[in-house]
Chains A and B, each alone.
Chain A
Amino acid sequence: MAHAGNPQPVLTARAAGLIGCATCGCVSRPGTAHCPRCGSVLHSRRPGSLSKVWAWWLAGLIAYVPANLFPMLESTFLGRRTDSTIVGGVVDLVHHGAYFIAGVVFFASVLIPVGKFIAVGYLAYSLRYRVQLSGHMRTLLYEVVEFIGRWSMVDVFVVAILAALVNLGFVVGFRPGPAAVFFALSVACTMVSALSLDPRLIWDAVERDGPDHG
Chain B
Amino acid sequence: MQWSETGRTMDELKPSEPVVEVPRRWIPVASAVWLVPIVALAIALGVAWRSYSDRGPLIEILFDSASGIVAGETTVRYKDFAIGMVEDVRFTDDLSQVVVSARLHKDAARHVDSNTKFWLVRAQVGPRGISGLETVLSGAFIGAELGDAPGAPQDHFTALSAPPLTPAGQPGLRIRLSAPDGGSLSVGAPILFKQIPVGKIEAVELTEAGDVMVTAFVDAPNDRRLTSATRFWNASGFSIELGTGGASLNVESLAALVQGGITFDTVTSGGEPIESGHLYRLYANEKTARNVILNDDPAELLRVMTFFEGSVRGLQTGAPVEYLGITVGEVTELQSEVVRVDDRPVVRVRAVLTLNPARVGLPSDGDMREEALDLLADAVQRGVRARLASANILTGSLFVEFAEIPDAEPATLGRDAEPFPEVPSVATPSGSLAASAEGVLDRVQSLPVEEVMNSVITLLGNANRLITDERVRKAPENLGLLLADLRALVGSEAVQQAPQDLAATLASARALLDGFAERQLAEEIATTLQSATATLDSITVAAEGVPAMLEEVGALSDRARELPLEDIVASATTLIDDVNALVRSDEVAAIPPAVTDALAELRGLIADLRDGGTIENVNATLVSVRAVSDDIAAARLGESLKATLASAEATAAQVSTASEDLPELIENLTTLSQRMESLPLDELVASGTRVLGTFDTFLASEGVESVPPRLAASLEELRLILAELREGGAVANVNATLASADEAAAAITSAAADLPALVAQFSRVADQADAALAQIGPGSDVNRETLMLLREVRDAAKSVTALVTALERRPNSVLFGR
Report whether B41 and A62 are in contact in the complex, using a CB–CB cutoff of 8 Å. Answer: yes
A78 within 8 A of B: yes
User: Given that A47-B24, A51-B26, A78-B137 are contacting pairs, would A62 and B33 also be in contact in the complex, using a CB cutoff of 8 Å?
Assistant: no
A14 touches B73 (CB 8 A): no
Q: How far is the CB of A42 from chain B (nearest CB, A)?
A: 12
Task: Determine, out of B13-21, B238-246, B788-796, the stretch whose residues face the partner at the interface.
Answer: B13-21
Residue-wise interface mask of A (76-94) relative to B, using a CB-CB cutoff of 8 A (1 in contact, 0 not): 0011111100000000000
Residues of A within 8 A of B72 (CB): 82-83
B26 and A79 form a contact (CB under 8 A): no
In A170-210, the 8 Å CB interface with B consists of 178, 182, 185, 189
B27 engages A80 (CB within 8 Å): no
What chain A residues lie within 8 Å of B44 (beta carbons)? Answer: 62-63, 65-66, 182
Check if A80 sits within 8 Å of B138, measured CB to CB.
yes
Q: Are B21 and A56 in contact (CB under 8 A)?
A: no
A17 close to B (CB within 8 Å): yes
- Inter-chain contact B19/A50, CB cutoff 8 Å: no
Contact residues, B103-140 vs A (CB, 8 A): 137-139
A97 at the binding interface (Cβ < 8 Å): no
Question: Is the Cβ of B19 less than 8 Å from the Cβ of A30?
Answer: yes
Docked complex: A51-65 residues within 8 A CB-CB of B: 51-52, 54-56, 58-60, 62-63, 65
Q: Please determine whether A80 and B73 come into contact, CB atoms closer than 8 angstroms.
A: yes
> Which residue of B is nearest A45, CB measured?
B21
**Complex-state Cα separation, A51 to B51, whole angstroms:** 32
Q: Does A5 contact B (CB under 8 A)?
A: no
Contact B33 A52 (CB under 8 A): yes
* A128-155 interface (Cβ within 8 A of B): 128
Chain B nearest CB from A2 CB (Å) reads 22
Residues of A within 8 A of B36 (CB): 55-56, 59, 189
Chain A residue contacts of B40, Cβ below 8 A: 58-60, 62-63, 185, 189
Choice from A31, A54, A62, A63 contacting B19 with Cβ under 8 Å: A31
Which residue on B lies nearest to A193, using beta carbons? B36
Q: Which residues of A contact B48 (CB under 8 A)?
A: 66
Inter-chain contact B138/A48, CB cutoff 8 Å: no
B762 at interface by CB-CB < 8 Å: no
**A17-B37 in contact (CB<8A):** no
List, in ascending order, chain B residues with CB within 8 A of A165's CB. Answer: none
The smallest beta-carbon distance between B681 and chain A, in angstroms, is 96
Residue of B nearest to A196 (CB): B33
CB-based nearest A residue for B19: A30
CA distance A140 to B451 in the complex (A): 145
Question: Which residues does chain B contribute within 8 Å of A58, judged by CB atoms?
Answer: 37, 40
A126 on the B face (CB < 8 A): no
Is B47 part of the binding interface, using a Cβ–Cβ cutoff of 8 Å?
yes
Interface pair A55/B41, CB less than 8 Å apart: no
C-alpha gap A79/B151 in the complex (Å): 34
A15 and B15 within 8 A (CB): yes
Chain A min CB distance to B246 (Å): 57
Task: Tell me, in angstroms, the Cα distance from A83 to B33 when the chains sit together.
Answer: 35
Taking a contact as CB atoms under 8 Å apart, the answer to whether A80 and B33 are in contact is no
Q: Are A66 and B17 in contact (CB under 8 A)?
A: no
B15 in contact with A48 (CB, 8 Å): no
Residue in B34, B41, B137, B812 whose CB lies within 8 Å of A51: B34
How long is the Cα–Cα vector from A128 to B24 in the complex, in angstroms? 12
CB–CB A80/B47 < 8 A: no
Q: Which residues of B contact A44 (CB under 8 A)?
A: 19, 21
CA distance A66 to B51 in the complex (A): 11
B contact residues, range: 20 to 34
A59 with B28: in contact, given A30-B19, A31-B19, A79-B138 (CB under 8 Å)?
A: no
B window 1-36: CB within 8 A of A: 15-19, 21, 24, 26-28, 31, 33-34, 36
CA distance A17 to B17 in the complex (A): 7
Which residues of chain B are within 8 angstroms of A178 by Cβ–Cβ distance? 47
Residue of A at shortest CB range from B26? A50
**Which chain A residues lie closer than 8 Å to B51 at the CB level?**
70
Output the least CB separation between B32 and chain A (Å): 9
Chain A residues, CB < 8 A from B41: 59, 62
Check B17 against A48 for contact (C-beta < 8 Å).
no
- Set of chain B residues within 8 Å of A54, measured between Cβ atoms: 27
| B39 contacts partner chain A, Cβ-Cβ < 8 Å | yes
Q: Which residues of chain B have C-beta atoms less than 8 A from A81's C-beta?
A: 73
Q: A52-B33, A59-B36, A66-B47 are in contact. Are A128 and B17 (CB under 8 A)?
A: no
Instruction: Give A15-30 interface residues, CB cut-off 8 Å to B.
Output: 15-17, 30
Residues of B within 8 A of A56 (CB): 33, 36-37
Q: Which residue of B lies closest to A44 (CB)?
A: B21
Quote the shortest CB–CB distance from A46 to chain B (angstroms): 11
Query: Provided the pairs A15-B18, A59-B40, A62-B41 are in contact, do residues A51 and B33 lie with their beta carbons within 8 angstroms?
Result: yes
User: B33 to A17, Cβ gap below 8 A?
Assistant: no
Q: When chains A and B are docked, how far (Å) is the Cα of A16 from the Cα of B14?
A: 9
Q: Is the CB of A51 within 8 A of B31?
A: yes
A17 touches B27 (CB 8 A): no
Minimal Cβ-Cβ distance residue in B for A67: B44
Give Cα A60–Cα B36 distance, bound, in whole angstroms: 9
Contacts of B18 in A (CB 8 A): 14-17
Distance in Å from the Cβ of B710 to the closest Cβ of chain A? 103
Contacts of A31 in B (CB 8 A): 19
- Chain B residues lying within 8 Å of A15, measured Cβ to Cβ, are 15, 18
Q: State in angstroms the CA–CA spacing of A65 and B37 once bound together.
A: 13
A178 to chain B, nearest CB (A): 7
Q: Report A-chain residues with C-beta under 8 Å of the C-beta of B21.
A: 44
**A59, A70, A80: which has the most chain B beta carbons within 10 Å?**
A59
Name the B residues within 8 Å of A51 (CB-CB).
26-28, 31, 33-34
Cβ of A192 to closest chain B Cβ, rounded Å: 8
Q: Is the CB of B39 within 8 A of A48?
A: no
Which residue, of A31, A48, A63, A82, has the highest number of chain B Cβ atoms within 10 A? Answer: A48
Chain B residues, CB < 8 A from A80:
73, 138-139
Q: Which residues from 86 to 113 on chain A have a C-beta closer than 8 Å to any C-beta of chain B?
A: none
What are the residues of chain A within 8 A of B19 when measuring CB–CB?
Answer: 17, 30-31, 44
| A81 to B72 alpha-carbon distance, docked (Å) | 9
A48 near B47: Cβ-Cβ < 8 Å: no
Known: A62-B37, A82-B73. Is A55-B26 also a contact (CB below 8 A)? no
CB-CB nearest in chain B for A47: B24
- For the complex formed, measure the closest distance between the CB of B54 and the CB atoms of chain A, giving whole angstroms: 12
Contact with A along B34-60 (1 / 0, CB 8 A): 101101110110011001000000000
Given the complex, which residues of A lie within 8 Å of B15, measured CB to CB?
Answer: 11, 15-17
| A78: chain B residues within 8 A (beta carbon) | 137-138, 812, 815
* Nearest neighbor of A9 in chain B, beta-carbon distance: B10
- For the complex, give the distance between the alpha carbons of A189 and B139 in Å: 41
Question: Across the two chains, which residue of chain A brings its CB closest to B35?
Answer: A55
Q: In whole angstroms, what is the CA distance A103 to B781 when docked?
A: 74
CB distance from B753 to the nearest CB of A (A): 90
- In the docked arrangement, what's the CA distance between A14 and B812, Å? 73
Instruction: Decide: A48 and B24 in contact? CB cutoff 8 A.
Output: yes
Tell me the bound Cα distance from A136 to B167 in angstroms.
76
Cβ-closest chain B residue relative to A27: B1
> Quick one: given A16-B15, A189-B40, are A128 and B137 in contact (CB under 8 Å)?
no
Cα separation A17 to B27 with both chains bound (whole Å): 25
CB distance A17 to B16 under 8 Å?
yes
Known: A62-B44, A80-B138. A55 touches B16 (CB 8 A): no
Residues of chain B contacted by A62 (CB below 8 angstroms): 37, 40-41, 44
Q: Ordered nearest first, which 6 A-B pairs have the shortest CB separation?
A: A58-B37, A59-B40, A59-B37, A55-B33, A30-B19, A79-B138
Could you pull out 30 A-B pairs where Cβ atoms are within 8 angstroms?
A: A11-B15, A15-B18, A17-B15, A17-B16, A17-B18, A17-B19, A31-B19, A44-B19, A44-B21, A48-B24, A48-B28, A48-B31, A48-B33, A51-B26, A51-B33, A55-B37, A56-B33, A58-B40, A59-B36, A59-B39, A59-B40, A62-B41, A65-B44, A66-B47, A70-B51, A78-B812, A78-B815, A82-B73, A128-B26, A178-B47
Q: Other CB < 8 Å A-B pairs besides A51-B27, A55-B33, A66-B47, 10 of them?
A: A44-B19, A48-B31, A50-B26, A55-B34, A55-B36, A60-B40, A62-B40, A65-B44, A66-B48, A78-B815
